[in-house]
Amino acid sequence: MRKFLLTVLLFLTTSAIAIDPQPGVNFKQTKEVIATDTPGKIEVIELFWYGCIHCFNFDPYLDKWADKLPKDIVFKRVPAIPRKDWVPMAKAYYALETLGLEHKLHEKLFDAIHKDKIVDPSSEISAINWIAVNGKKDLNEVKDAFNSFSMKSKLSNSFKMFKAAGATGVPAIIIDGRYMTSTTMAGGEKNTLQLMDYIIKNVRADKAKK
């Protein structure tokens, strides 16, 4: 681990990046190793909350980054649940997935909360009504998605991942289930993307050696 961090640090400090990265400051090892779902590929996960203004600001940058991923990278979003009042928005994200509306309404839900201020991120009813209207779905169908058989398991996994990562806030980025950075740690959205890319390059090189 120490050798990897030193390699990343050396690479970053000799490259064009707006920060002077330091292990334990700008990126760190996750508290626990998090199992990935895509063997043979590098998994990148964003822990986020719809009610977070920093996640809202970072989302457009992350979307553009995700649109240009190489074949060996898999990107996923996981709604963070460090406390109970974040559960409604976690359920909203998983409901969007269940209803096939994630790509259509993900960005719009952020806007509804932070720009239009018509959705209360702590209110499940507010999210259900908004999704029904904007997704053109029957209200009962949306309610069923919020209370699906798999929802409890998904929420449990979200809670466990936030804890295993050792995250203290969002947005947080987990790379290969072992390394974590964030907009706060990196010092801004663009720095975060650069730091993600460089860590990925080193993880890729490390995997190639093995």
Beta strand ranges found along the chain (DSSP E) = 28-29, 42-48, 73-79, 172-175, 179-182
Under DSSP, the state recorded for 157 is H
SS3 26: coil
> By three-state DSSP, how is residue 172 classified?
strand
Which is nearest to 58 in space by CA: 193, 169, 175?
193
pLDDT of residue 30: 98
Q: Which own/partner pairs from 198-204 qualify as long-range (CB within 8 Å, at least 24 positions apart)?
A: 198/8, 198/11, 198/12, 198/15, 198/17, 199/8, 199/27, 199/175, 200/42, 200/44, 200/73, 200/175, 201/11, 202/4, 202/7, 202/8, 202/11, 203/42, 203/175, 203/176, 203/178, 203/179, 204/42, 204/72
Strand partners, 46: 77, 173
With beta carbons less than 8 A apart as the criterion, state whether 66 and 34 touch.
Answer: no
DSSP type of residue 44? E
Structural domain harbouring 125: 2-209
Phi, psi angle pair for 24, to nearest 5°: 85, -10
pLDDT of residue 13: 41
pLDDT at residue 15 in the model: 45
Domain of 114, CATH number, reads: 3.40.30.10
Task: Answer whether 53's CB lies under 8 Å from 40's CB.
Answer: no
pLDDT value for 6: 40
The count of domains in the chain is 1
**For each of the chain's 210 residues, which pLDDT tens digit applies?**
544 444 444 444 444 455 566 778 899 999 999 999 988 899 999 999 999 999 999 999 999 999 999 999 999 999 999 999 999 999 999 999 999 999 999 999 999 999 999 999 999 999 999 999 999 999 999 999 999 999 999 999 999 999 999 999 999 999 999 999 999 999 999 999 999 998 999 999 988 887
Name the pTM for this structure: 0.89
Cβ-contact 135, 99 below 8 angstroms? yes
Are the C-beta atoms of 44 and 173 separated by less than 8 Å? yes
